[in-house]
Amino acid sequence: MVVQGVRTGKVRHSVALGDPERGRAVALAFSADGRTLAVSRLVRVDQEGRSVDVVDVGTGRKTRTLDGVGGYGIALGGSGDDLVLATTSGDRANLSDGTMAPGALGTVELGAVAFSPDGKTLAAAEPNGVALWNAEGTRRVGRLPGPAGTSDAGVSRLRFSADGHRLVGVVGGERVQIWDVRSQQSLGGVLPGVEGAPGEEPDPGGVGTERAGRAVPEGLRLRGCA
- The yes-or-no verdict on residue 88 having pLDDT over 90 is yes
More confident residue, 22 or 168: 168
* pTM of the predicted structure, to 2 decimals: 0.80
Q: Report whether pLDDT(117) > 70.
A: yes
**Which of 44-58, 123-137, 176-190 is predicted with the least confidence, judged by mean pLDDT?**
44-58
Measured CA to CA, the distance from residue 98 to residue 204 in angstroms comes to 32
The distance from CA 146 to its chain's CA centroid, rounded to whole angstroms, is 20
45: Cβ contacts below 8 Å, ≥ 6 apart: none
- Contacts with 165 (C-beta within 8 Å, 6 or more apart), sequence order: 180, 181, 182
Q: What is the mean pLDDT of residues 98-112?
A: 92
182-210 pLDDT, tens per residue?
Answer: 999 999 888 886 454 444 443 333 333 33
Please give the residue range of the domain that contains residue 112: 2-222
Q: What is the CATH number of the domain that holds 95?
A: 2.130.10.10
Element (H, E) at 114: strand 113-115
pLDDT digits (tens, 9 = 90+) for 132-181: 999 999 999 999 998 766 555 688 899 999 999 999 999 877 789 999 99
User: What total of structural domains would you count in the chain?
Assistant: 1
Mean pLDDT of 113-138: 93
* pLDDT, greater one: 208 or 29: 29
- pLDDT above 80 for 90: yes
Are 195 and 173 in contact by the 8 Å Cβ rule? The answer is no
Q: Which pLDDT value is given to residue 39?
A: 94
Residues 6+ apart with CB under 8 A from 20: none
If we measure between CA atoms, which residue out of 38, 101, 39 comes closest to residue 68?
101
